[in-house]
A and B are shown apart, each in its own frame.
Chain A
């Protein structure tokens, strides 16, 4: 069906899964406030939130298979959006399942923490659907404000409050940059709709307009903060360290996924013609992020900080897919985000199991000799680490994901050979901490005073086993997702390819 987004009913139908999640989250918020806080009520709100997430996931898959399209309008209706929604909902489901057990252990009885995850997820779904700067802004803010609260959800933790404050201040600061960028792009083109901006940049010969260039640069800074690329990454390790582990997983995987999808859509739909102006900046950010993120990761003893730097490194790999600026890059990015999210949630699931009663951060010493006390957790963590590193076969989907990104970089209209080389070299650097982790678990003796980890709670076990199984399955059989993702970029493929806009004389390079 081809939606006409100017008609309210059709617009509503096109927003179906988003509206289902939003209204469901509102109802659950009332339900959470209905009874006084207690451990039992927290669990029941969590379980109902999981049910709502699964319902929305089913609705999204149904929309994916219907293969609807839409005319011009404020939101996109394409498989790229539905695939991104699936990644987001999987992430939200994993987060809620992990935090039900984690909240119980830490004595957090606030049932609304699960509702906040749902509200953040609805903001992300809006963000990945956006084809208008207003919707981009609203989506980012609905997502961010919920995440600020989630970062500080453990009221008894001073570290949590500090992480939340840092996240809030830098998040608001970056939003202001993004917004000023949007304002200047609006000033240059007179439009907020992405495709209209793209058309006007070409038809009004805007390529050298200083207002447009400053606007694009400010938007790049804003998104750079949100996805934690290198000059703007300082907040990430602190915030990831301070937040509860399931929420850290949510921030590292799902928030990043949603922001990257919007980033790609804006850059390929609104600014494809301006590629000569932004291409070098994005490529430079990608290279710096890959090198510095992975290099600092080597020095970390605190496991959550290590994973924070690893996630900064992954932001660099994903920027390579954006720098490729092609359909292949878009589908490679979606597959990468799926593989990365699954591996991240497996790793953070295991971290929540190992975390003790205290607020003390988890270090590599807590993982020493894990193989001797909890062999299955050690095996799970190994698969997650190898997948994040992109190790063949044992790393499952992580390897295929990196392979696709490399392929996209090399087959781009303007081949990104240098970035591909940096990607491979930094993957080698990252082995320094991923494999060190594996070595510590299998070859170090268990420390003297370190207690054996508690039993894995059932829901956490489901998340860990499910995520690991999917990682391995996607590594063996990646085709269905890539096919869905490749079929899922009709809007992007209709946008003029960046190569068209290059001045004559620059080799197109196929």
Chain B
């Protein structure tokens, strides 16, 4: 059971990484990051089956922090949308050089 869970979470993590690297919509990027965090949660829960409760406690911390991060992240995306009327990163290019 451990091997399957680890494999599944690794696949989920890789899907998240590929999504972040290839997609250009800020919201979808953010969803991919959340997918990566949940893959990590799955890993922690799987290892907690072997090592005891510490991994599960860690999952609660990760979920709490991810919620706080989502609140701040969506606020930042809205702030940018008010300026540029888009959340597509290809059109967001004031800063470069």
Pairwise interchain contact A186-B94, C-beta atoms closer than 8 A: no
Q: B34 CB to closest chain A CB, in angstroms?
A: 8
- A190 & B50 in contact (Cβ 8 Å cutoff): yes
B94 touches A162 (CB 8 A): yes
Q: Which of A138, A168, A180, A242 contacts B95 (CB 8 A)?
A: A242
CA–CA, A179 to B33, complex, Å? Answer: 12
Residue pair B97, A161 in contact (C-beta under 8 Å) = no
**Closest A residue by C-beta to B50:** A190
Task: Find the A residue at minimum CB distance from B87.
Answer: A165
Residue pair A179, B40 in contact (C-beta under 8 Å): yes
- B interface size (C-beta, 8 A): 42
Q: Interface of chain B, helix or strand or loop or mixed?
A: helix
- The answer to whether A141 and B76 touch across the interface, beta carbons within 8 angstroms, is no
The answer to whether A192 touches B20, judged by C-beta atoms less than 8 angstroms apart, is no
- Expressed in whole angstroms, the minimum distance between the Cβ of A73 and any Cβ of chain B is 14
Q: What chain A residues lie within 8 Å of B33 (beta carbons)?
A: 169, 172-173, 176
8 Å CB contact of A172 from B30, B61, B83, B97: B30
In whole Å, how far is A173's beta carbon from the nearest beta carbon of chain B? 6
What residues of chain A lie closer than 8 Å to B83, measured between beta carbons? Answer: 158, 161-162
Task: Establish whether residues B61 and A148, one from each chain, have CB atoms under 8 Å apart when the complex forms.
Answer: no
Asked if B65 and A149 make an inter-chain contact with CB atoms under 8 angstroms apart, the answer reads no
A165 to B30, CA, bound (A): 10
Given contacts A168-B76, A180-B36, A184-B43, contact A134 B57 (CB under 8 A): yes
Q: Is B72 a contact of A148 with CB atoms below 8 Å?
A: yes
A186 touches B51 (CB 8 A): yes
Q: In the complex, what distance in Å separates the CA atom of A172 from the CA atom of B72?
A: 11
- The docked-state distance in angstroms from the alpha carbon of A190 to that of B47 is 8
In the complex, per-residue mask of B26-63: 1 if CB is within 8 Å of any chain A CB, else 0: 10011001001101100110110011001101100110
Q: Is the CB of B47 within 8 A of A186?
A: yes
B-binding residues in A (CB < 8 A): 133-134, 137-138, 141, 145, 148-149, 152, 155, 158-159, 161-166, 168-169, 172-173, 175-176, 179-180, 182-184, 186-187, 190-192, 237-238, 241-242, 300, 302, 305
Q: List 27 A-B contacts (CB under 8 A).
A: A137-B61, A141-B65, A145-B68, A148-B72, A149-B72, A149-B76, A158-B84, A161-B76, A161-B84, A164-B79, A165-B76, A165-B77, A168-B72, A172-B69, A175-B37, A176-B36, A176-B37, A180-B13, A180-B43, A183-B43, A183-B47, A187-B51, A190-B47, A191-B51, A241-B95, A241-B97, A302-B97
Interface residues of B (CB under 8 A from A): 6, 13, 16, 20, 26, 29-30, 33, 36-37, 39-40, 43-44, 46-47, 50-51, 54-55, 57-58, 61-62, 65, 68-69, 72-73, 75-77, 79-80, 82-84, 92, 94-97
The 8 closest A-B CB pairs, nearest first, are A176-B36, A158-B83, A190-B51, A238-B95, A161-B80, A183-B43, A187-B47, A172-B33
